[in-house]
Amino acid sequence: MPNIVILTGAGISAESGIETFRAETGLWAQHNVEDVATPEGFVRDPQLVVNFYNARRAHGASALPNAAHEALARLEAENDGEVLIVTQNVDDLHERGGAQNVLHMHGSLGSALCASCEHRWPAPMEMNVGDACPACSAPSARPDIVWFGEIPYQMDRIIDALGRADIFAAIGTSGNVYPAAGFVAEAARIGAQTVEINLEPSAVGSQFDNAIMGPATQTVPAWVDDILKGR
Ligand code: OAD
């Protein structure tokens, strides 16, 4: 009955048709990170930023969870110990794949945030610059996404869960963005078994005990089968 913390990144949603960030033709090859994923970019050109996330929200809504998302939901349902999915993804494919214990450390496309009073509410499919906050009426709506230079959400809960983990798995993440890229070191420090599941070794790949390389829709269901059989 191991306690398991799973960190996921864009690679787990790639086979659902959602672009990753750092692939040769990925989102960061098509858009300037400073323009669309920083607080300064939002001040400079809020319309560009809102349009970027509106497009991603629309695209995400038409995508379907894949076998990897569904396998993690099965692990959550059938494992005796705690299973926590910590995702860097802003899509909702883990939830639509059936998972319930999911933390979105980089925010969610489905949520809007008031930059004035920090109230959150379900984002409309199309957000507009200057949308009013339903709580304080300030025209300060922004996508509820953690941008570069901002602090990821739920770090206390994540560190807490890592402290109880017997197994830490990182799936489909390139290991370039901290603090998420540092979770393997934290998990190893407290003695958890660590495994990287990815297409290729990540930037922090050498820090894992084990590596499983291949497309997530194949590797993740097989890994989940092994865990549930106690292998
Ligand atoms: P990246 O685009 O950096 O990395 C995606 C990883 O998934 C790469 O290591 C790929 O090799 C792997 N991959 C691609 N297809 C796969 C597949 N079918 N099966 C398994 N693995 C596959 O995305 P992230 O690591 O998620 O943050 O990026 C981390 C953060 O950087 C994002 O949350 C985002 C971005 O800037 C913010 O916007 C704040």
CATH number of 19-62+109-145: 3.30.1600.10
CA 19–ligand 1 middle distance (angstroms): 9
- CB 112, CB 121: distance < 8 Å: yes
User: Would you call 116 helix, strand, or coil by DSSP?
Assistant: coil
Map out the domains of the chain as residue ranges.
1-18+65-106+152-231, 19-62+109-145
Higher per-residue confidence, 113 vs 231: 113
CA 226–ligand 1 middle distance (angstroms): 24
What is the per-residue pLDDT across 30-71, written as a single tens digit (0 to 9) for each?
A: 999 999 999 999 999 999 999 999 999 999 999 999 999 999
Residue nearest ligand 1's atom 25 by CA: 173
CA 129–ligand 1 middle distance (angstroms): 28
Fold of 1-18+65-106+152-231: Rossmann fold (3.40.50)
Whole-prediction pTM: 0.97
Task: Tell me if 46 CB under 6 Å of ligand 1.
Answer: no
Task: Tell me if 208 CB under 6 Å of ligand 1.
Answer: no
What is the per-residue pLDDT across 172-184, written as a single tens digit (0 to 9) for each?
A: 999 999 999 999 9
Phi and psi at 217, nearest 5°, equal -65, -20
C-alpha separations of 55 from 31, 51, 144 in Å: 13, 6, 15
- CB 102, CB 83: distance < 8 Å: no
Task: Tell me if 16 CB under 6 Å of ligand 1.
Answer: no
Residue whose structure tokens are 């802003």: 90
Please report the pLDDT score of residue 1 as a whole number. Answer: 74
* Residue 106 among the catalytic residues: yes
**Annotated catalytic residue, options 94, 104, 106, 119:** 106
Is residue 231 predicted with pLDDT exceeding 80? no
